[in-house]
Amino acid sequence: MKKVIVIGAGYGGLRAIEGLEKDITLDITLIDKNPYHYLQTEAYAYVAGQADVGDVIIDLDNWCKGFHSSVHFVHSEVTFIDYDKQVVELSNEESLAYDYVVVATGARTNFFSFIPGLEEHSHGIKSLHSAYTFRKDFGDLLHEKIEKSTHGKLTIAIGGAGLSGVEIAAEMAYVIQSYSKNIGEAAKEIEVALIDASETILPGTGEYVITQTEKRLNALGINILTSTFIEKVDESLIHFKGGKTLEYSFMIFTGGIKAMIPDANIEYKQNRVNQLVVNTYLNIGKYTNAYAIGDCVEIHDSSDKILPPTAQVAERSAEYVADAIINPKEELKPFSASVLGVFVALGGKYAVGEMFGKIRIKGYLAYLMKKGIIFTYHKGLSLRINAGYKIRSKS
If one compares 57 and 139, the residue with the highest pLDDT of the two is: 57
User: What stretch(es) of the chain map to CATH 3.50.50.60?
Assistant: 2-109+257-339, 118-253
Q: DSSP of 233-284, one letter per residue?
A: E-SSEEEETTS-EEE-SEEEE-S-EEE---EESS---B-TTS-B---TT-EE
**162 neighbors 172 (Cβ within 8 angstroms):** no
Q: What pLDDT band is residue 243 in, cutting at 50, 70 and 90?
A: very high
If one compares 73 and 148, the residue with the highest pLDDT of the two is: 73
Q: Which CATH code fits 2-109+257-339?
A: 3.50.50.60
Alpha helices in the chain (DSSP H): 11-20, 43-47, 53-56, 60-65, 118-121, 128-147, 163-183, 185-188, 207-219, 311-326, 364-394
**165 neighbors 134 (Cβ within 8 angstroms):** no
Q: What pLDDT band is residue 314 in, cutting at 50, 70 and 90?
A: very high
- Look at the alpha carbons of 69, 106, 194, 161 in this order and tell me if their dihedral is positive or negative: negative
Residue 110's nearest CA partner among 268, 269, 314, 295 is 295
The pLDDT tens digits for 145-162 are: 777 666 678 899 999 999
Residue 173's Cα: distance from chain center in Å? 21
Please tell us whether the domain made up of 118-253 is placed in CATH 3.50.50.60: yes
List the beta bridge partners of residue 5. Answer: 29, 101
Q: Would you state the pLDDT for residue 183? A: 66
Separation in Å, CA 257 to CA 207, 232, 241, 282: 24, 19, 22, 20
pTM for this entry? 0.92
